[in-house]
A and B are shown apart, each in its own frame.
Chain A
Amino acid sequence: MAAHLKKRVYEEFSKVVQIPHEETPAKKLRLSKPSKSAALHIDLCKATNSTDALQYLLQFARKPVEAESVEGVVRILLEHYYKETDNSVRLKIASLLGLLSKTQGFSPDCIVDDAINTLSNEKSHQVLAQLLDTLLVIGTQLPESPALRLRLVEVAYKHLSDTYFGVRNKCLQLLGCLGMVDAPVGKENEGPGTSLGGLRDVQSIISDYFGDQDPRVRTAALKAMLQLHERGMKIHQIIYDQACRLLTDDYEQVRSAAVQMVWVLSQLYPESIVPIPSSNEEIRLVDDAFGKISHMVSDGSWMVRVQAAKTLGSMLQVSPHFLEQTLDKKLMSDLRRKRTAHERAKELFASGEFSSGRKWADDAPKEKLDTNTVNLIASGACGAFVHGLEDEMFEVRIAAVEALCHLARSSPSFAEKCLDFLVDMFNDEIEEVRLQSIHVLREISTHITLREDQLDTVLAVLEDSSRDIREALHELLCYTNVSTKECIQLALLELLKNLNKYPTDRNSVWKCLKFLGSRHPTLVLPLVPELLSTHPYFDTPEPDMDDPAYIAVLVLVFNAAKSCPTMPALFSDHTFRHYAYLRDSLSHLVPPLRLPGRKQVYGLDSVDSGPGSGSVESAQLFLQQSLNRVSTIQNLEASGAQDLLDLTIRDLQRLGELQTELAGAADFCATYLRCQLLLMKALQEKLWNMAVPLCLKQNVTATAAAQQILEETYKLEFLYSGLESRQVATIHHVRLQAKALQLVLTARTRQGLDLLIGSCERFLQDVESFQRLFLTELPHLQDSFVDKLLELMPRLSSCKPVELVKILQTTLRQSGLLQLRLPEQIHRATATIIEPTGESDNPLRFTSGLVVALDIDATLEHVQDPQNTVKVQVLYPDGQSHVIHPKPGDFRKPGPHRHRLITQVYLSHTAWTEPSQIEVRLLLAYSSSSTSLTSPSKLGWSESLESLPPAEAAVEGTIPFSKAVKVFIMPKPARR
């Protein structure tokens, strides 16, 4: 075998030697691949000392190797390996072997034997460890070979008793990754040198190394065990005790791994019973583990603390009794029992007294404690979260908050209890923690009702200067239940204060009040006279309708009134008027109301409020019917067809406005039909019958139509989310038609033949790529334009351009409308610029040549991957336009399919004499290549990007998808 191999190597080698003799450049190129291994061989032979060899190897490692030549290279490396005396070079070779066996398309099983052989002769521990690492790579590359695995595992057993920690580490890693999951391994292990029992399974062997003298090996053993678990092996319960012992290890990485191990076991055997040491009692294993991990929350190392806190959150099976202990803390002062501030607050609330806490010594200790009952060192789960939430490192605090969230979601009683602690976290020094705890509170808010004092604390955060915090809090308030009308009043008061302080929060505050009102109609009812400042005897002055605060109050009241029919009786006249106004201007915030005695309002509203959920279905039906109707278009006269399309488009547009759920679908259909309509108009009989010079004018409209269709198809493709490949195919089909039209028109107008040939070729390419991309969809495109084209394809590719144009012209006119099938969910990407509002008359003044920052705040709906696609366009009055790409960090995700863009754009311009308006709008950037390449081919380490053929001429562009906002700016000349 070896001789044969050597021969192969030399064969390759000799090939290379020949090349310079022949000196034919063409051949050189072709043979460049196998020469790699040979070049390496030459280099290595040239190397006089180990540093040189190392240098060569390092250089070699930077270059890619093709899958075919890997084996040759490996042979050469191995050959050199045997000769090499220097450890570092051997180490590098060993690592290269591992790297090479990862090459895609290369099966490393042929080098296993050699790698194992080298192992037996190796003296250096470091090299040994590296070789084992290589074996690990090989083993993971070949998962379907049990025999090989068995061999590798045996190798690992043999070296487990090495004195160097690195070797033991790697062996354990090997066992963890390759140890047999099903059967106990080592049966065939008859080697005389193995002192380990022949019939022991992987787990007990690995667990032996839990007590290794080196902490790194202990960690590796735990990690290997975890790896086994991940691979689906059931870890024995006996490991539990050993893992628990490692929780008190001196080294943090061991403790951290042990925490994971204990957690794994607690999930595997939650219900089994373990004894409590030094007592006769027994508890469930999951409780025991919970207690032990809770203890780790006050560990000395913060890494372990984070790990422990995180782990706690996923132990949902724990008994409620234990769970509640994590929030337990018994205070004392001079051995007297003291109540916590939380308890005091609760009592105060219960006794009906409001917010005192201003008495000296109101926290004075009460009863005397029995010294024996005070348990200082918390055994078990006691106070784990109390510690975790007060930790020095914010990572631990965040982990603890998250864990609280998980546990609270599964246990309402616990949620109630942890409320005080979460509310306390609103006051953390790190904003991230504050934000996180607000989010958590929102998530568990279905379980809880806030008490007045708690709400007070929550509301205090409304003055926070961070916008994120305030908005998170508004969101929280939307979902919160409160208990009394005072709470509502308090919340309203604080929200108004917030509004006053930060006017930009207007929308968010209104929305918050909307939910607050609709959630608590009965609590709002007694407040109404006060809120609207009505008086039983006197007429009060009519409030200012433009006051955001007044609008806020009205939003609260109207939403409460929706489910509280007695409320409108308390309204004064102007309230009704304001209702009508707001219902119209802020319809998303003000619900339709049944107002007795206000006929016209009632009548108008009943139209809107009448249809409930059934309306969506009926609208859907209508949509479908319209589409069906359009499909009959073939049978109609041209003019009739156009009218029908016109009508349907109008219908659909109106439908989209009325039924927001279907807006996306309706818009999509309308746009599609508009494309069809345009196409139809462009193909009018008249146009084509005329002589070329005469129809020049007509031609202009047709060309414009083709261009417009193209644009619309891009919109269709990229502006809507939820499209299936069927729809995409349809869109591409329309695009193809438009391109054909363009081609025909160019043929008619321009005389240059070269130009025509070029565009013909391009068109044919387009057709081909269409066929390639939508191969699966072709059966659905029966009798369509493409279908016909593909039939004629052999003829097309060979015929002359003029002929081609003729064929296209006839096919275009013969092909009918492609029926559009509606996907399940289709949404149009929309963007609304909230800020700047465009209402300001004060120009933004700045010195020309310098920049001014303009704050932009926008909500994006149904935009996929906004970080890469959304751009801001600034249009100056002189036609100059800038496109600004916002930072990824400027996008926030407040909800599903919703994004928020808060960014600053920098404006600059030369001096103007008068303030003038610039336009700001959002653009959606698209690139046709990004979608056509659905799975970007993975590049191995050996390939480079340049070798990829340009797949398709990628079309890139932008679609404006928000209304433009005008901003006054005034660049002034710099003063000298």
Chain B
Amino acid sequence: MPEIKVTPLGAGQDVGRSCILVSIGGKNIMLDCGMHMGYNDDRRFPDFSYITQNGRLTDFLDCVIISHFHLDHCGALPYMSEMVGYDGPIYMTHPTKAICPILLEDFRKITVDKKGETNFFTSQMIKDCMKKVIPLNLHQTVQVDDELEIKAYYAGHVLGAAMVHIKVGSESVVYTGDYNMTPDRHLGAAWIDKCRPDILISESTYATTIRDSKRCRERDFLKKVHESIERGGKVLIPVFALGRAQELCILLETFWERMNLKAPIYFSTGLTEKANHYYKLFITWTNQKIRKTFVQRNMFEFKHIKAFDRSYADNPGPMVVFATPGMLHAGQSLQIFKKWAGNEKNMVIMPGYCVQGTIGHKILNGQRKLEMEGRATLDVKLQVEYMSFSAHADAKGIMQLIRMAEPRNMLLVHGEAVKMEFLKGKIEQEFSIDCYMPANGETTTVTTNPSVPVDISLNLLKREMGLGGPLPDPKKPRTMHGTLIMKENSLKLVSSEQALKELGLNEHQLRFTCHVQLQDPHSDADTLHRIYTHLKSVLKGYTIQHLPDGTVIVESIVIKVSSSAEDSNTKVLLLSWSYQVKTWTLFLYIRGLPMQSKPDSSANHLVIESLF
């Protein structure tokens, strides 16, 4: 049986370093090539030596597909393609292709320039890597080679995030990447058609969470900002450069517009400005509202949001500032925080999760006195708010996607093992399909039952069609007679005569014979006659002939009677039939003969012998 093999090199029962190998129909595909944020050593990249110890990866991989631009999905790409060595095609969507190099370059700068690491990929390598990228459009089927085809679906999550449907012959796999089933202010919801893949590989970040409605959160967020602004306070929103930041910008921008507010909103410059530019370009990837109104006004051309300058932080009056990074551990957001922390009118809103040890984490846990570098302490008087805006599908969303795609098997990645366990149970219970959750390096094998296309000769089809009704009944399968010829990698269904002709073979007759012993005192001829009359009475509507040479012929079945050598009372019935005829009925009819003695069951054996 054909098999599909899935091996996570990263993201197996884990979040980060997404990298999944899939072997399907003789093709090897790598899905995502990410890095792990938590490590600074070799563990941050997937273990490519799993694929090959030495030599280039090109020989082993047919293609690489990147689902979206987050570094845990594309961070290891230049390392793999340039340093390990891969020259094959890399697929990603247009927005991902545009934004990915910016993030990679940023990542490189931090690691090399700030942390001073060596043996890291260079800017040139990023450029070379991006040259190998082939862009994808939504719902466009791309033929990687003659057999392998891929198709991208919208995934929400971030700009340009895609789910991919990978198909070889009739076997297929869907990889979701990260996705979001609830629309937000700038992106729509993930959608897939009923493609019924053999395996659906889904992320499961929020496997055990069902989230509250987005509206409540948005409303809370806006209300908090608004109140603070009305008090004359300053609001700091630490964000990561891409994704959520844009959503929050849109949210605030439209709110400002709606409410006619005048307080300035600033956005820290640099990376984000460049990224905003791409958001303006890829309007087709955004949600309904932005797509519909961009002709009048592109929503990403912010009216109220201006670039931030360091000096603005000291300006009097209310303002809102988006600043990077998101966890208040360094950079501009921390500087501004230090300036504003002392005033209780001000507010900081943490829109995402904070890693332990960062200032973000500390203040969220209610710490009001922070130790800064040196001996200085900082009194935190400003209000601290937490607002969760995350763009992953929750448990309900994952189930919804399964219902949309109707996969035959399910495979969970990109989540914690314990949580996956719960979801796995639920999926198996609700959909009664198998669900897998391999760890890194562990291979899951799924046998598929692919349908094999067979050519059928038109004559045969017409002949079989003619046998019953004008239209085939779609509710019932129908059997038909024919000969399957396998020749030079192609399958053909033809009628048996044609098959014989094509193969140059002679037709052989196949006959079965059978001896039945009966206890009957009559003479052979009488017995035969009795059988004849009995059959005649039982088998109405069949042609039964009594031939003068001492045989009875029922259709194509021949019956002869002879006495056994030892006992003249024991008659031996010789039955002979060609292989198409259903014998058992006749045999049973004969068993029902009105003989005095029942046929000996022990002697009642079937002898089937071929005639040649």
Contacts and interface: CB of A to CB of B under 8 A. Distances in A.
**Are A and B interaction partners?**
yes
Interface of A: 161, 163, 195, 211-213, 250, 298, 300, 329-335, 338, 340-342, 357-358, 360-361, 363, 371, 374, 376-378, 386, 389-394, 424-425, 427-430, 457, 460, 463-466, 501
Contacts of A389: 213, 215
B426 interface: yes
A465 B260 CA distance: 6
Contact of B366 (A163, A360, A427): A360
Nearest to B366: A360
Contacts of B448: none
Interface stretch (B87-95, B434-442, B468-476): B468-476
A211 B210 contact: no
Contacts of A466: 258
24 contacts: A161-B470, A195-B470, A211-B474, A329-B212, A332-B208, A332-B210, A333-B210, A335-B208, A341-B212, A341-B217, A358-B383, A358-B385, A361-B386, A371-B425, A377-B430, A389-B213, A394-B288, A394-B289, A424-B216, A425-B215, A429-B254, A460-B226, A465-B260, A501-B260
A393 B288 contact: yes
B209 interface: yes
B189 A392 contact: yes
Interface stretch (B333-341, B392-400, B543-551, B604-612): B392-400
Given A360-B366, A360-B384, A460 B223 contact: yes
Nearest to B299: A429
A377 B399 contact: yes
A422 to B, nearest CB: 11
A463 B471 contact: no
A425 B208 CA distance: 27
B210 A329 contact: yes
B216 A341 contact: yes
B10 interface: no
Given A298-B400, A358-B385, A360-B365, A330 B210 contact: yes
Interface stretch (B39-47, B180-188, B317-325): B180-188
Given A298-B400, A427-B215, A427-B218, A390 B471 contact: no
Given A391-B183, A460-B223, A460-B226, A195 B469 contact: yes
A384 B395 CA distance: 16
Nearest to A469: B258
B424 to A, nearest CB: 11
A161 B386 CA distance: 65
B11 to A, nearest CB: 19
B387 to A, nearest CB: 10
Given A376-B426, A378-B396, A392-B183, A331 B210 contact: yes
Given A371-B422, A377-B399, A386 B384 contact: no
B191 interface: yes
A804 B22 CA distance: 105
Contacts of B217: 341
Contacts of A213: 474
A386 B419 CA distance: 25
Nearest to B396: A376
Interface string B482-518: 0000000000000000000000000000000000000
B306 interface: no
B71 to A, nearest CB: 25
Contact of A392 (B288, B384, B470): B288
A863 B423 CA distance: 62
Given A360-B384, A377-B403, A427-B222, A390 B215 contact: yes
B259 interface: yes
A330 B209 CA distance: 10
Given A360-B364, A465-B260, A333 B288 contact: no
A390 B182 contact: yes
Interface string B162-195: 0000000000000000000011010011011110
Complex A-B, nearest 9 residue pairs according to Cβ-Cβ distance, in ascending order: A341-B216, A392-B183, A424-B215, A463-B259, A465-B260, A377-B399, A335-B208, A392-B189, A360-B364
Interface in B221-236: 222-224, 226
Nearest to B217: A341
Contacts of B208: 332-335
Contacts of A340: 212-213, 216
Contacts of A428: 215
A465 B257 contact: yes
Nearest to A193: B470
Contacts of A360: 364-366, 384-386
Contacts of A457: 219, 223
A466 B220 CA distance: 21
Contacts of A424: 213, 215-216, 219
B131 interface: no
A163 B288 CA distance: 40
Given A360-B365, A376-B399, 17 more contacts: A300-B194, A333-B209, A338-B212, A358-B383, A360-B364, A360-B385, A376-B395, A377-B400, A378-B396, A386-B213, A392-B189, A392-B287, A394-B288, A427-B215, A460-B223, A460-B226, A463-B259
B214 interface: yes
Contacts of A393: 288
Contacts of A212: 474
Contacts of A430: 289
B611 to A, nearest CB: 43
Interface in B129-184: 182-183
B365 A427 contact: no
Contacts of A390: 182-183, 213-215
Nearest to B193: A300
B598 interface: no
Contacts of A298: 400, 403
Contacts of B475: 211
A687 B222 CA distance: 80
B190 to A, nearest CB: 10
B293 to A, nearest CB: 9
B404 interface: yes
Nearest to A423: B219
Contacts of B277: none
Contacts of A377: 396, 399-400, 403, 430
Contacts of B127: none
Given A298-B400, A340-B212, A429-B254, A376 B430 contact: yes
B591 interface: no
Interface string B458-480: 00000000000111001100000
Interface string B385-429: 110000000011001100110000000000000010011011000
Contacts of B194: 250, 300
A271 to B, nearest CB: 30
A681 to B, nearest CB: 59
Contacts of A329: 210, 212-213
B216 A331 contact: no
Nearest to B209: A333
A157 to B, nearest CB: 13
A396 to B, nearest CB: 10
A341 B387 CA distance: 12
B297 interface: no
B211 interface: yes
Nearest to A395: B288
A628 to B, nearest CB: 59
A166 to B, nearest CB: 15
Given A377-B399, A463-B259, A465-B258, A163 B471 contact: yes
A193 B176 CA distance: 53
A357 B220 contact: yes
Given A335-B422, A501-B260, A161 B471 contact: yes
Task: Name which of B383, B419, B422 has the most chain A CB atoms within 10 A of its CB.
Answer: B422
Contacts of A429: 185, 254, 289
Contacts of A334: 208-209, 419
B396 to A, nearest CB: 6
A498 to B, nearest CB: 11
A376 B396 CA distance: 5
